[in-house]
C-alpha cells in the first residue's frame, strides 16, 4: 500500500470525490505554491468507497467558496504540530466570482474581457448556479 | 430600488405603485408636465429600436425633462473600444437617469453596477425587457381593470419570445391566473419556464397547437410573430404559418370583451381587418408604454411623492 507522510502544519482536504483532486488542485491554484503538496487518488474509504485527498504542507488561505462550489462534502482539516486542530464545514456559496466562465456567446462577458464572471446560487437542491448577467447556467464543475 | 434590470426585481407592490401612478398621469397629463424640469434622460441604444427609444424619449419630454444619447453602437465610443462601465461612468456626469438597450445580455446590469444614477434596461438581447412587461401589465390593468382572475392566451413563438417569458413570470404572481400556451411544437415554452415558474407555483396552464378550440376561454390573447427562420424545415413553416395568423374568422368564438395584445412590430400575424375590432388593444398598448415609462422615470428618480 502507498504510504504518504502526515503533514506537520497545513491543510488536508479529505473526502474529495474520487478523480476530482486534480480539478481542485487547479481551481485553488495550488501549482503556484512552493510548499510540499500531496495529491492522493483513489484511497479506500468506508463512507465513499474511493476518495481523493490533498495535503498541503503550509497554512495557506483556502478559497472555501471555490471548494464549496465544486463539492460541499469535502472536509477541510487544519493541522498544527501533526495534529488536526480544526475542521471547516463547507456550504454552497451564494455567489462565486471568477471561478467558472460564462459560456453564453450572447452574454456581455463574451465581449468585455475586463468583467468579473459572477454566478449566483439559483437552486440549492440542484446546486444550480446562474450567471448574474445573462442567467445562463454554470456549465462546468 | 435604484435600477430596473429584470421585471421580477419589482415586487407586486412596486408594480402596483407604478401602474397607479401611470393611471394618475393619464387622467391629468398637464399636472405632470413639469415634474422632470431640469432632469436629463440618457438613452444609450447600442442597437436600433424605434418604438422603445421613442417611447422613452416621449415619456421624458412629456414630463418636462430633456434627453441626450446615441442610437446605435456606431455612433458611440464603443467603436473605440470603450467598456460599458466607462461609458456609463461618463454619462453619469451628464444625465440623471439612463435607459440602455444593448444586443448583449446583462449589459444594462454592468452599467447599473458602476453608477449611482438609476439605470433602466430597455432590452438586453433576447434576455429581459422590463418596460415592455410593465407596458403589458398596464394594458391589462387599464383594459380589464384587474390583473387577477384572468385567462391569458399566449400565441406564436413562445420559445424565443422574451416578452412572453417575462409576462408569464409577472402575471404568475397574481391570484387565479391561468395560461393557455398556443404554439407549434417547435416553438413551445422552454422547460425551465414551465418547471421553475408554472409548475413550481401551481399555476394552471395548457399547451395547444391550434387557437380556435381555446379561443372561447380567453380573456386576453397575446400574439407574437412566428418567424420563418425559427423552423427546422420549410414544410413545417408552410403547414403552420396560417395557424398563427389572427383574423376575423378565428375570432368568431372569442369573448365579447377579449383583449388582443401584441408587443409590436406586427408583420402579418394579425390581419389588418382585426385593427378595427374593438377588442384589439395593441396600438393602445403602445401608448400605455409611454405612460408607464413616465411613471417609472418618476418613481426611480423619487419624484412620485
Chain A positions in Cβ-Cβ contact with residue B106 (cut-off 8 Å): 107-109, 131-134
Domain identity same for A18 and A82: yes
Does residue A111 sit within a domain?
yes
**What pLDDT was estimated at residue B261?**
98
Out of B83, B104, B127, whose CB is closest to A110?
A: B104
The reply to whether A116 touches chain B by the CB within 8 Å rule is no
pLDDT grade for A1, boundaries at 50, 70 and 90: low
Chain B positions in Cβ-Cβ contact with residue A111 (cut-off 8 Å): 104
CATH, residue A32: 3.30.70.140
pLDDT grade for A126, boundaries at 50, 70 and 90: confident
**β-strands B220-223, A10-17: how paired?**
unpaired
**What pLDDT was estimated at residue B28?**
98
Place of cell 453564453: A104
Domain final residue, candidates A88, A105, A121: A88
Q: Is A14 helix (H, G, I), strand (E, B) or coil?
A: strand
Cβ burial, residue B89 (10 Å; 0-12/13-18/19+): middle
Does residue A83 sit within a domain?
yes
The reply to whether B162 touches chain A by the CB within 8 Å rule is no
Domain identity same for A14 and A39: yes
Number of domains in chain A: 2
The side-by-side arrangement of strands in the sheet containing B66-70 is B66-70, B40-45, B97-102, B119-124
Instruction: Judge whether B156 and B180 are in contact, CB under 8 Å.
Output: no
Domain identity same for A59 and A82: yes
Domain identity same for A79 and A101: no
Smallest CA–CA distance from A108 into chain B, residue:
B104
Query: How high is the ipTM of this complex?
Result: 0.87
Chain A positions in Cβ-Cβ contact with residue B107 (cut-off 8 Å): 108, 133
For B173, other C-beta atoms within 10 Å of its C-beta total 17
Domain identity same for A83 and A53: yes
pLDDT at A14 over 80: yes
Choosing among B103, B105, B126, B196, which should be mutated to test the A contact, i.e. which has the most A CBs within 10 A?
B105
pLDDT at A141 over 80: no
Cβ burial, residue A108 (10 Å; 0-12/13-18/19+): buried
Mean pLDDT of chain A: 91
Domain identity same for A64 and A112: no
**What pLDDT was estimated at residue B236?**
78
Domain identity same for A76 and A122: no
Domain identity same for A115 and A71: no
DSSP category for residue B260? E
**What pLDDT was estimated at residue B276?**
96
**What pLDDT was estimated at residue A5?**
75
**What pLDDT was estimated at residue A59?**
85
Q: CATH 3.40.50.1370: does it fit domain B131-285?
A: yes
Chain B positions in Cβ-Cβ contact with residue A107 (cut-off 8 Å): 104-106
Query: Active site includes B129?
Result: yes
**What pLDDT was estimated at residue B46?**
95
Phi, psi of B41 (to 5 degrees): -105, 125
Does residue A58 sit within a domain?
yes
Q: How far apart are CA B266 and CA B155, in angstroms?
A: 13
**What pLDDT was estimated at residue B161?**
81
> CA A16, A20, A22, A27 torsion: positive or negative?
negative
The reply to whether B102 touches chain A by the CB within 8 Å rule is yes
How far CA B246 is from CA of A67, B27, B135, B273, in Å, comes to: 54, 32, 22, 9
- Would you list the domain boundaries of chain B? 7-128+288-300, 131-285
B7-128+288-300: what CATH class? alpha beta
Kindly give the parts of chain B with pLDDT less than 50.
none
Cβ burial, residue A11 (10 Å; 0-12/13-18/19+): buried
CB-CB under 8 Å, A106 with B105: yes
Domain identity same for A51 and A114: no
Does residue A139 sit within a domain?
no
**What pLDDT was estimated at residue B230?**
66
Q: How far apart are CA B128 and CA A134, in angstroms?
A: 9
CB-CB under 8 Å, B127 with A134: yes
Query: Active site includes B52?
Result: yes
Domain identity same for A76 and A116: no
pLDDT grade for A37, boundaries at 50, 70 and 90: very high
**What pLDDT was estimated at residue A139?**
81
Domain identity same for A14 and A82: yes
Query: Active site includes B262?
Result: no
The x, y and z cell numbers of residue B94, run together, are 451628464
Domain identity same for A109 and A58: no
Q: Shortest Cα distance from A106 to chain B (angstroms)?
A: 5
Does residue A78 sit within a domain?
yes
User: Which range of residues forms the domain containing residue A122?
Assistant: 95-131
Q: How far apart are CA B146 and CA B290, in angstroms?
A: 20
Q: How far apart are CA B34 and CA B23, in angstroms?
A: 17
Amino acid at each position: 500500500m502507498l504510504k504518504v507522510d502526515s503533514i506537520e502544519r497545513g491543510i488536508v482536504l479529505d473526502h474529495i470525490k474520487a478523480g476530482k483532486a486534480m480539478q481542485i488542485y487547479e481551481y485553488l491554484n495550488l501549482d503556484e505554491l512552493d510548499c510540499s503538496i500531496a495529491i492522493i487518488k483513489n484511497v479506500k474509504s468506508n463512507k465513499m468507497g474511493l476518495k481523493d485527498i490533498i495535503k498541503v504542507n503550509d497554512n495557506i488561505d483556502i478559497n472555501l467558496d471555490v471548494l464549496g462550489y465544486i463539492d460541499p462534502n469535502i472536509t477541510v482539516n487544519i493541522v498544527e504540530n501533526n495534529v488536526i486542530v480544526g475542521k471547516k464545514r463547507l456550504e454552497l456559496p451564494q455567489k462565486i466570482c471568477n471561478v467558472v466562465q460564462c459560456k453564453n456567446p450572447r452574454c456581455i462577458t463574451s465581449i468585455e474581457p475586463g468583467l468579473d464572471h459572477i454566478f449566483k446560487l439559483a437552486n440549492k437542491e440542484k446546486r444550480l448556479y446562474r450567471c448574474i448577467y445573462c442567467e445562463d447556467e454554470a456549465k462546468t464543475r | 430600488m435604484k435600477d430596473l434590470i429584470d421585471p421580477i426585481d419589482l415586487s407586486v407592490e412596486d408594480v402596483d405603485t407604478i401602474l397607479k401612478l401611470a393611471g394618475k398621469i393619464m387622467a391629468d397629463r398637464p399636472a405632470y408636465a413639469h415634474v422632470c424640469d431640469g432632469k436629463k434622460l440618457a438613452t444609450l441604444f447600442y442597437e436600433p429600436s424605434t418604438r422603445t427609444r421613442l417611447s422613452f424619449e416621449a415619456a421624458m419630454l412629456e414630463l418636462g425633462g430633456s434627453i441626450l444619447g446615441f442610437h446605435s453602437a456606431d455612433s458611440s465610443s464603443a467603436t473605440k473600444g470603450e467598456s460599458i462601465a466607462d461609458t456609463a461612468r461618463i454619462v453619469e456626469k451628464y444625465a440623471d437617469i439612463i435607459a440602455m438597450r444593448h444586443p448583449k445580455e446583462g449589459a444594462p446590469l454592468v452599467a447599473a453596477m458602476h453608477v449611482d444614477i438609476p439605470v433602466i434596461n430597455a432590452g438586453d438581447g433576447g434576455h429581459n425587457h422590463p418596460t415592455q412587461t410593465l407596458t403589458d401589465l398596464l394594458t391589462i390593468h387599464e383594459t380589464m381593470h384587474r390583473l387577477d382572475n384572468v385567462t391569458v392566451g399566449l400565441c406564436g413563438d413562445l420559445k424565443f419570445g422574451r416578452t412572453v417569458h417575462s409576462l408569464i413570470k409577472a402575471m404568475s404572481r397574481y391570484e387565479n391566473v391561468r395560461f393557455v400556451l398556443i404554439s407549434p411544437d417547435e416553438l413551445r415554452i422552454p422547460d425551465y419556464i414551465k418547471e421553475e415558474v408554472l409548475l413550481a407555483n401551481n399555476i394552471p396552464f395548457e399547451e395547444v397547437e391550434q387557437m380556435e378550440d381555446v379561443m372561447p376561454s380567453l380573456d386576453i390573447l397575446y400574439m407574437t410573430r412566428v418567424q420563418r427562420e425559427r423552423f427546422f424545415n420549410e414544410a413545417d413553416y408552410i403547414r403552420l404559418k396560417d395557424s398563427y395568423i389572427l383574423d376575423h374568422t378565428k375570432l368568431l368564438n372569442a369573448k365579447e370583451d377579449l383583449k388582443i395584445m401584441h408587443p409590436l412590430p406586427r408583420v402579418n400575424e394579425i390581419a389588418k381587418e382585426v385593427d378595427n375590432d374593438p377588442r384589439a388593444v395593441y396600438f393602445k398598448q403602445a401608448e400605455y408604454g409611454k405612460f408607464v415609462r413616465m411613471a417609472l422615470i418618476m418613481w426611480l428618480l423619487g419624484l412620485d411623492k
